[in-house]
Amino acid sequence: MRGNKAPGGLLRAFWRGRAQRVQSVLQPAQGKAMRLTRYIVSLGWEGFGDRLQCLSHCIWLANTRNRVLVVNWNDRWFGGGFHEFFQIVDIPYALEQPEGNTHPSIARHMRNVPADDWVYDLKEPSNENFECTQPIQVHLGVGYRRWQYDLLETHLRFHPDLDLAKRIVVLLEMASGRPVVHLRGTDKGFNQESCKALAQRMESPVAIVSDDARSVRCFLEVRPDTIVLSEDLSEDPLHKSAPSREKTLRMLAEFCLLSLRGLDTLCPTSLFWTAARSINTDLWFRPAKEEQDYGDFLYRVGV
């Protein structure tokens, strides 16, 4: 028929267009949204482990749903915001959320209250109803998500201006070769017996990182030879104030330390602990451009 393409021509045009779209997704974004016009926004809420878990899920959604990733951690629970500490590499990425209606609408009042058990109920696979159909789709930082550790290792990098390696070296020197015990994750209620039982399990002297002064005191009662690496401990982690940039940097250094030397934890369900022990944070020190000359992080810091 006049004006109609032959079936073979239509098929070739279809696959040529599809190949071009796939190629555009695979190219590094370097902070630009490129030609994609649909977005997935990872909204930060509560602890660092939760944020990483949600971010890994949103990276997966960006890869599989052909979307530009946006990360928004500009809330009172994370001192400094995402872009001051991290970079996203090798996927289409935008530094700012585009103008327009979001789906769902961002309930900002939710981001200024502590999490409760209802948040963790929403993580169950039975609540996987995130269809990602709107132009600006938002993951609110609560609700269903699943870990994608390999995607975090591939696409997440520390900001090169942090100079975080020196902080990790200081902690390693303070630890004096000892394994590190993790006393975070106690915000669901302080348990003196569990803390002392953990200390009793230690067969040799250890170093500890924590955000809870009560847990540290209990641990030291049983193991007074323990080295305490953390500073500015809180008497009530349930009502701790928003962290400063310095505290956030200290937290990131302790996270990397657990990745390197973590031995045990007071709270096995802690997402902070789970992420630290599952992610090779050495990869987060690699520069965004692979052609740059870099050495292995462990070699550079002399571990």
- pLDDT per residue over 128-138, tens digit each? 555 667 888 88
- Cα–Cα distance, 259 to 282 (Å, whole number): 9
**pLDDT above 90 covers what percent of the chain?**
41
Q: Thinking of the domain 24-158, which architecture would CATH place it in?
A: 3-Layer(aba) Sandwich (3.40)
Average pLDDT score over residue span 144-164: 89
- Cα–Cα distance, 43 to 47 (Å, whole number): 12
- The neighbour count for residue 227, using CB atoms within 10 Å, is 13
Predicted pLDDT at 187: 60
- Cα–Cα distance, 26 to 250 (Å, whole number): 34
Cα end-to-end span (Å), the chain: 73
- The answer, yes or no, to whether the previous bond of 28 is cis (omega within 30 of 0) is no
Average pLDDT score over residue span 132-152: 83
User: pTM of the entire structure?
Assistant: 0.78
Q: Which of 259, 238, 232, 118 is nearest to 188 (CA)?
A: 238
Q: At 276, phi and psi to the nearest 5?
A: -60, -40
Predicted pLDDT at 238: 55
Q: Which residue has the higher pLDDT, 245 or 34?
A: 245
| Tens of pLDDT, residues 40-54 | 999 887 789 989 999
Predicted pLDDT at 228: 97
Predicted pLDDT at 188: 62
Predicted pLDDT at 24: 35
Predicted pLDDT at 80: 66
**pLDDT above 70 covers what percent of the chain?**
69
- Would you list the domain boundaries of the chain? 24-158, 164-301
Average pLDDT score over residue span 55-68: 91
Burial of residue 34, with CB atoms counted within 10 A of its CB: 0-12 exposed, 13-18 middle, 19 or more buried: middle
Q: Which residues of 108-127 are buried (b: 16+ CB within 10 A; e: fewer)?
A: eeebeeebeeebeeebeeee
Average pLDDT score over residue span 70-82: 81
Q: Which residues of 72-97 are buried (b: 16+ CB within 10 A; e: fewer)?
A: bbebebbbbbbbebbbbbebbbbeeb
Cα separation values, 171 from 48, 178, 230, 236, Å: 20, 11, 9, 24
Predicted pLDDT at 85: 94
| Tens of pLDDT, residues 4-18 | 334 444 334 433 443
Predicted pLDDT at 122: 52
Q: Which of 216, 235, 232 is nearest to 224 (CA)?
A: 216
pLDDT exceeds 60 at position 149: yes
Average pLDDT score over residue span 74-96: 86
Cα separation values, 282 from 6, 196, 227, Å: 54, 32, 24
Reported as a pLDDT band with limits 50, 70 and 90, residue 142 is confident
Average pLDDT score over residue span 116-122: 48
Reported as a pLDDT band with limits 50, 70 and 90, residue 143 is confident
Predicted pLDDT at 25: 37
Predicted pLDDT at 27: 39
Predicted pLDDT at 110: 47
Average pLDDT in the chain:
77
- Rounded to 5 degrees, what angle do the CA atoms 259, 261, 263 make? 100
Reported as a pLDDT band with limits 50, 70 and 90, residue 147 is confident
